[in-house]
């Protein structure tokens, strides 16, 4: 096997059944084309997208959607390998989670291009829904993962399938990779990347195409990130005599105010480094000086280089904490990387930069990197996650152009 891991195709082994077949889009092909110039693949694309979005796959619990992807690709004629990813934490279910690797060629694959996205989503699960009436390019589709990133997964699969069926690409030249865990720690991509270093003859990808919501623009890069826990230690007392105690809450508020007011790093391409205080907890009662306080922050890093930019910003925050109180704070970051540059010099695409993080820095190697996909990040992770049929179809065409461009380089 390519990755030296089990290839499990039997339904009994993978827990696959008829319920995992693509779901109907509930619209006849006549209605789908009645008022729109529908591409030939529309029905297949919408059916696949509906199936993916309808299966809950919150990070850590990707088994069922992984099973579906394996079965779907196998029935399409792909060779499919699965790569088990170690259990992440105690909140994960007992069912195995795995990356899906697939190619559609003869013999041992020699992939020049890797096309990849993630099959996990953020909580909570939101059911699939589509506008009533005839399907047109303006028809809206809703549901968790419809944008981030099952829209990319569906568009990628259909794009490659069409290219292979039309003999525009050799199936051995392009590999699909769908990973788990991108929304939390990137452990799926980390595991795939590490597996390449253990292979005697690993694939030498010339290019990797990453699927994320970019509004079908080709991203020239995205901000880096640091994700940190912050704790403040004071000593308690009666709130009527605050000078006799040391309020951990006050220390945290002063520190965060200073962090927000400071230019932590900016660049012409990515703008300002921004900070989100996502969690803040401290104290036991309003009339007690808080002895302990904790916070969780996510910082979007606008400076490079990719390997060191995050550490530079982390040190700037540490300097602020030391200025407020050089003994009270404990500052721990779990991931830190600088701005991530991508290739975007491809004819026919609008370009932009993104403020979110991706799996791009988690995959080692010397290859061109493209970031592209349907839908906008502005609705991802929210209660109204949605995109249009036209978004998905445009993405199919976009992924095809990117694959052909990457193969021609």
User: What are the catalytic residues?
Assistant: 182
Token pair of 3, please? 């990755």
**Phi and psi at residue 46, to the nearest 5°:** -70, -35
d(CA 397, CA 167): 16
Work out the burial of residue 269: count CB atoms within 10 Å of its CB; fewer than 13 is exposed, 13-18 middle, 19 or more buried.
middle
CA distances from 195 to 4, 83, 85, 143, 202 (A): 9, 9, 11, 33, 9
Q: Is the peptide bond before 395 cis (omega within 30 degrees of 0)?
A: no
Taking a C-beta distance cutoff of 8 angstroms, is the pair 200, 139 a contact? Answer: no
Token pair of 67, please? 């099973």
Q: What is the 3-state secondary structure (H, E, C) of 6-57?
A: CCCCCHHHHCCCHHHCCCCCCCCHHHHHHCCCCCCCHHHHHHHHHHHHHCCC
Kind plus residue range of the DSSP H or E element containing 103 = strand 98-103
d(CA 47, CA 25): 5
CA distances from 407 to 81, 112, 174, 337 (A): 23, 7, 9, 29
- Non-local (6+) Cβ contacts of 261 within 8 A are none
CA distances from 286 to 237, 239, 248 (A): 11, 8, 13
**Phi and psi at residue 109, to the nearest 5°:** -70, 150
Per-residue exposure over 3-29, b if at least 16 CB sit within 10 Å of its own CB, e if not: beeeebeeeeebebeeebebbebebee
d(CA 236, CA 292): 9
């Amino acid at each position: 096997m390519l990755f030296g891991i089990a290839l499990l195709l039997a339904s009994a082994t993978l827990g696959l059944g008829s319920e995992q077949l693509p779901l109907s889009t509930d619209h006849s092909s006549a209605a789908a084309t009645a008022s729109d110039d529908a591409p030939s693949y529309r029905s297949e694309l919408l059916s696949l997208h509906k199936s993916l979005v309808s299966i809950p796959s919150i990070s850590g619990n990707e088994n069922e959607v992984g099973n579906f992807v394996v079965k779907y690709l196998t029935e399409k004629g792909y060779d499919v390998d699965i790569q088990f990813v170690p259990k992440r934490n105690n909140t994960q279910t007992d069912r195995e989670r795995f990356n899906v690797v697939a190619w559609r060629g003869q013999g041992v694959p020699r992939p020049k291009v890797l096309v990849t996205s993630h099959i996990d989503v953020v909580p909570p699960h939101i059911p699939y829904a589509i506008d009533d009436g005839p399907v047109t390019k303006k028809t809206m589709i809703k549901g968790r993962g419809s944008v981030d990133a099952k829209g990319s997964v569906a568009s990628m699969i259909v794009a490659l399938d069409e290219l292979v069926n039309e003999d525009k690409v050799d199936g051995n030249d392009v590999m699909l990779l769908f990973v788990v865990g991108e929304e939390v720690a990137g452990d799926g991509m980390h595991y795939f990347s590490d597996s390449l270093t253990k292979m005697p003859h690993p694939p030498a990808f010339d290019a990797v195409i990453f699927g994320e919501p970019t509004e079908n623009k080709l991203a020239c890069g995205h901000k880096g990130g640091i994700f940190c826990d912050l704790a403040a230690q004071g000593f308690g007392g009666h709130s009527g005599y605050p000078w006799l105690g040391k309020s951990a809450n006050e220390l945290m508020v002063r520190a965060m105010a200073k962090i927000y007011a400071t230019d932590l790093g900016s660049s012409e391409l990515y703008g300002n480094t921004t900070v989100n205080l996502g969690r803040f907890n401290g104290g036991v009662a309003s009339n007690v000086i808080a002895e302990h306080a904790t916070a969780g922050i996510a910082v979007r890093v606008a400076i490079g280089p990719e390997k060191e930019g995050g550490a530079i910003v982390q040190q700037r925050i540490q300097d602020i904490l030391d200025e407020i109180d050089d003994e009270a704070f404990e500052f721990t970051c779990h991931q830190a990387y600088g701005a991530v540059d991508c290739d975007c010099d491809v004819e026919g695409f609008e370009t932009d930069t993104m403020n979110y993080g991706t799996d791009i820095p988690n995959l080692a190697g010397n290859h061109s990197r493209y970031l592209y996909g349907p839908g906008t990040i502005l609705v991802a992770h929210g209660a109204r996650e949605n995109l249009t049929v036209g978004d998905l179809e445009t993405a199919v065409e976009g992924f095809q152009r990117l694959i052909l461009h990457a193969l021609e380089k």
